[in-house]
Structure 1
Amino acid sequence: MICALCDALLIFAGVFGFAQVIQKFELVRQVAIYGGFIFLFIYSLKSLYAAFRNSQSLRPSAQHESKFSKIVLLTLAFTWLNPHVYLDTMLLIGSVSIKFGGENIIFGIGASLASLVFFFSLGYGARVLAPIFAKEISWKILEIFVGIVMLVIAFSLLFAKV
C-alpha cells in the first residue's frame, strides 16, 4: 500500500506538474522525450543482455520477522531514494499524459489504479511465483519480456505526437 500511495503521488506530480512544464518549455519537452527514450532504450538493452548472459534464480532465505516500523522505513527509502521512480512516474507518465489534454486527470487515476493493482499483485503473487522464479529460465523469460516492453515504450515515446 505504501508503494502504491507514493506512486500515485508521483504520478499526479508528473501529470499536473511536470507535464505543464513540458508544455510550456520546448527544450524541456525535447529533453524529456529524448532523455526518456535513451533511458528506456538502455534499460531494454540491459534486460535483454541479462536474459542471455546472467544466471539468476530466486532462493529465499529462512523466514524471519521484522519490525513493522523497519519495514515501513525501508519501503519509503526504496521508493523515494530510487531515481527510476522519478523517471518512470514524473517524466515518462507526465510526458505521456500531455496527449490526453483536459482528460489527464482520468489518465492519472488510471495510471494510479494500474500501479495499485501492480503492487498488490506483486506482493500477494510473490508467494505463488517464488517456486517458478527458483528456475533460471523464468528469469530469462522475464528479462526478455521486460526488454521488449521497454523497447516498445521507448519507441512509442519517441514517435508519439506530443
Structure 2
Amino acid sequence: MGTGWTSALAGLVFGLGLIVAIGAQNAHVLRQGLRREHVAVVVAVCALSDVVLIAVGTAGVGALVAASPVVTAVATLLGAAVLLVYGALAARRALHPGTLVADDDRPAGAAAPVVPVLLVTLALTWLNPHVYLDTVVLLGAVSAGHGDARWWFAAGAAVGSVAWFSALGFGAALLRPVFARPGAWRVLDAGVAVVMVAIAAGLVADLAAGAH
C-alpha cells in the first residue's frame, strides 16, 4: 500500500507538471471561467478527457500510437491547424476587445450557446497533439516504470488533472474585477494568440525536422 500511495503522489506531481502551463486548453478554460459561461461543461470535458487519455497511455496504447509516423503526422498537422484557427480568433478579439459581460454585442447576461463552446473544447482537447504527447505517450511511459503500481500513478495524475481544471475554471471568477476592463481582455487574447501560433509553428517545425 505504501508503494501505491507513493506512486499516486508521484503521478499527481508529474501530471500537474505537464498541464500547469499556458496552452490552448488552459486558455480556453480560463476564458470560459472568467465569463462564467458553461464552466461545468468545459471543466468536465477537459478533466474526463484527460482521465481517459491517461488510462489509455497507462494501458500501453501510447507506444503503439507513437510508433506510427503516419498517425503522428496527421495528428500533428490537424492539431496545428486547429491552434492556428483558435489563435486567429484570439487575435481578432484582441483587436476588438470587449468587456467581461460580452465581447460580441450580446445583451448583458446572455451566454453563448453551449454547443459551439462544447465543440471548441473538444477540438482543443482531442485535436491537440501535445495532449497525446503528454498524457498518452509521456505519462504512459513514466507510469510503466512503476510496475504493478502504475495504475496508482495514473490515478494520481488523473486527480491532478481534475483538480487543476476545476480550480482554473471555477477559480477564474476571482479575476473578474480585472477583466471588467476591455484592455485586460486585449492583453489576454493577444497573449493567447501568440501562444497558439507559437505552439502550432513548433509542431510543424518538429514534424519537418523529424522527416529529414
Root-mean-square deviation over aligned CA pairs: 3.8
Q: How many residues are aligned here? A: 146
Identical-residue share of aligned pairs (%): 20
Q: CA deviation at 1:7?
A: 2.4
TM-score (norm 2): 0.52
Residue among 166, 171, 180 paired with 1:119: 166
Aligned equivalent of 2:147: none
Aligned equivalent of 1:65: none
User: Contact 1:32–1:95 (CA<8 Å) still a contact in 2?
Assistant: no
User: Contact 2:50–2:161 (CA<8 Å) still a contact in 1?
Assistant: no
Q: CA deviation at 1:40?
A: 0.5
Aligned equivalent of 2:119: 83
Give the alignment of 1:1-162 within 5 angstroms. 4-15=43-54, 16=56, 19=62, 22-23=65-66, 25-52=68-95, 54-59=96-101, 78=114, 82-92=118-128, 93-97=131-135, 98-99=137-138, 102-103=141-142, 110=157, 113-114=160-161, 116-126=163-173, 128-158=174-204, 159=206
Write the distance in 1 (CA, Å) between the matches of 2:198 and 2:168: 23
User: Contact 1:3–1:119 (CA<8 Å) still a contact in 2?
Assistant: no
Q: CA deviation at 1:2?
A: 6.8
User: Contact 1:7–1:112 (CA<8 Å) still a contact in 2?
Assistant: no
> Is the partner of 1:59 in helix, strand or coil?
coil
Q: CA deviation at 1:146?
A: 0.9
Aligned equivalent of 2:105: none
> Is the partner of 2:200 in helix, strand or coil?
helix
Q: CA deviation at 1:121?
A: 3.5
User: Contact 1:10–1:89 (CA<8 Å) still a contact in 2?
Assistant: yes
TM-score (norm 1): 0.65
- Unaligned runs of 5+ residues in structure 2 are 1-39, 103-107, 144-149
Q: CA deviation at 1:154?
A: 1.7
